[in-house]
Structure 1
Amino acid sequence: MKIELLREIERLVEGRAPESPTLEFKAGDALRNGGKNPSEMIKDISGMANAAGGRIIYGISEDGPKNDRCASNFSPVMDENVSADWISQVVASRTSPPIPSLSVQSIPKGSGRIFVVDVAQGNTAHQSLFDNIYYQRIGAQVLAMQDFQVRDVMNRRMGPVLNIALQRRITNYPKEEARGYHFYPTIQNVGHITVSNWRLRVLVPQLAYFLREKDNAIVLGGDRLVTTDLSRTETGMCNVYTYSSGALSTLNKEDLHPGELLQLQGGVALPEINLKVSNKNYENLKASSAAIYWFFYSLNARPLLGSLTFDEWCDF
């Protein structure tokens, strides 16, 4: 898993990936167990939680204009007193309320380490206890929040809280030297408010579809509960699967109540998303970093988005 993550990070550097609202690069000197560094770390992490969540990679230097910074080179963290546990402990003790959803991974690189910090969007505003300021990542900058921004983030608790995922199973095809990847979405309401009038769109790269031998056409689920269309993303053309509360009303699944888990699979009505990777399409998929994206919309919930990178869903 760490090898795959390191390869993903190496591609970010090689491709000079730009920073974004959900991706930030920090040189290794930014992470030290002392001085002002812990307060800057809390500023960045709390700012990410108070925005849309995202990933901060410590160990990559960046360059370019202020609002258009790109990954430029590796600059590992050299302080031996810095560890994944130390980062988690500082965040837990120096944010109020403590940020609950934090994943920290440590990867060796040269004589130092790279730390990948994944921050989930908070369901309330988190304050830095170093200076008692609320921060928020806006674009590629972290700024102090104004009163109305703090109130807006705190109101997230007034809406539903959802966990959305793509479940995967694998089928091997030894004769074809191929592997099948089968997905279906799940939506879990982990909050206290019922979700209604919702729509989930899953974008899947066309390069990974099962193909008919005769006409080379894409095989799609031709049922009435899942609609399909086409869309273009940064990684190429995708087929779009759309699930909605209206379409599922015939199954009495239009409302998602607190604690309920909705599994969007089941026979012809809700077919799995079936992909196949072989020697014929692997290199093209890898070169295009073919990710799977999803977008969730509801009348009483904030829009949610997520993705599985190619390395996350494909282990061919």
Structure 2
Amino acid sequence: MNIESIADIQFLIDNSVEESTELEYKRSFAKANPKWKEELAKDISAMANANGGIFIYGLAEKNVSNGLSLPELITPIPSTEMTKDQLSQLLSSNITPKINNIEISVLPQEGGNVFILHVPKGITAHQNKINHLYYIRRNATVEVMEDYEIRDVMNRQSNSPLEIDGCGLYKTKNDPYSNKAEYTFMAKIQNVGHSVCEVYKLNVYFNKISLHCDFSFPSKENFSYTALDAERLKISCKYQEPIFGGETLEMGHFVLHIDKDHEEEFLDGLIIDMILFYPGGSCDVAFIPSEQRYVEGRDKINTLLGRDKRIDYPILEVDSLKEN
């Protein structure tokens, strides 16, 4: 999500974009609270220890229900209360190690300013220097990190992060003498770090499976698949070779065979949900073929799919796979 202007903030209000793991609204810096500096360090470090994200200070939120918060009103913060330099100094002084590359934007408004903070995902665990605790953001809440979580985040620096750099569902065969249309799926995986990543796995979830579609897989790649429920299928694509820093590889290349009589019905509303796992992290991206559109981030994907959390209850494991 790219938020850089008052127009972008107004879009959030007009479209009732709720807070998430990677987006937080704050009316002010809450200086009336004696521990406001501790709370500031807690919130920012928790975001970095999770997946990074955006804070907007000067945007009041309203609680709707069940912890759901929506943006309500732009509330400029007086210049006498906070400046960009003061905020930068507070973050540097109260979070250790210092979070590099935090972007602070100040949008002048009548009566004060709105602050937008772009917090990058940390490459190590960041501690609240005031109370010496480590925090992490889960959905729209902040919690103290468990020991294993601290160790996992500290290992990010030694593990190169991977990203899903796009995917496609391409019609590759339309034999007029066959009652099946063939579509090939492929995803691009990029190592955005500097070291070699030798272990990774891509899970691809289809939200619509039926008797009108079946799959086949190339023998050169390692696949397994699981029927999660009556309508969801998970296909796991395991790594074939190390991926070096800055390198991009393709994964997938499996084929969907769709009954032509039900081709349009199957593709309409199809959502391909992808989770890329690698040591120290994961990357979540969904692709909507009918719209040629991507949705990034687990919270947004779950909203798109109409559920609050990912349900992953295997019903049937299939070991023998078709091969091309």
**What's 1:36 paired with?**
35
After TM superposition, the score normalised by the length of structure 1 is 0.56
- SS state of the match for residue 63, structure 1? strand
1:148-200 CA-partner distances (Å, limit 9, x unpaired): 3322322333422357778xxxxxxxxxxxxxxxxxx8935324333555659
> Which one of 186, 189, 192 corresponds to residue 189 of structure 1?
192
Counterparts of 1:142 and 1:111 in 2: how far apart (Å)?
30
Counterparts of 2:282 and 2:249 in 1: how far apart (Å)?
20
> Which one of 297, 302, 309 corresponds to residue 281 of structure 2?
302
Deviates more, 1:157-166 or 1:20-29: 157-166
**What's 1:132 paired with?**
132
Counterparts of 1:68 and 1:58 in 2: how far apart (Å)?
18
Counterparts of 1:188 and 1:79 in 2: how far apart (Å)?
42
Asked whether 1:63 is paired with 2:50, we answer no
Larger radius of gyration: 2
Counterparts of 1:89 and 1:199 in 2: how far apart (Å)?
41
Counterparts of 1:86 and 1:22 in 2: how far apart (Å)?
24
Counterparts of 1:118 and 1:10 in 2: how far apart (Å)?
18
1:22–1:48: 8 Å Cα contact kept in structure 2? yes
Counterparts of 2:196 and 2:25 in 1: how far apart (Å)?
36
**What's 1:87 paired with?**
87
2:51–2:120: 8 Å Cα contact kept in structure 1? yes
Change in 2 beyond 3 A, CA 1:187/1:85: farther
1:207-254 CA-partner distances (Å, limit 9, x unpaired): xxxxxxxxxxxxxxxxxxxxxxxxxxxxxxxxxxxxx998xx8xxxx5
1:197–1:299: 8 Å Cα contact kept in structure 2? yes
Structure 1 residue 132, shift from structure 2 partner: 1.0
2:159–2:280: 8 Å Cα contact kept in structure 1? yes
Counterparts of 2:145 and 2:283 in 1: how far apart (Å)?
22
- SS state of the match for residue 28, structure 1? coil
1:237-248 correspondence to structure 2 within 5 Å = none
1:165-204 correspondence to structure 2 within 5 Å = 187-195=190-198, 197=200
**What's 1:260 paired with?**
246
- SS state of the match for residue 76, structure 2? coil
After TM superposition, the score normalised by the length of structure 2 is 0.55
Structure 1 residue 146, shift from structure 2 partner: 3.0
Unaligned segments of structure 2, at least 5 residues: 167-187, 205-236, 251-271, 286-293, 297-324
Counterparts of 2:113 and 2:242 in 1: how far apart (Å)?
46
2:163–2:283: 8 Å Cα contact kept in structure 1? no
Deviates more, 1:144-153 or 1:21-30: 144-153
- Identical columns (%): 28
Q: CA RMSD in A?
A: 4.3
- SS state of the match for residue 151, structure 1? helix
Unaligned segments of structure 1, at least 5 residues: 167-184, 202-243, 265-292, 310-316
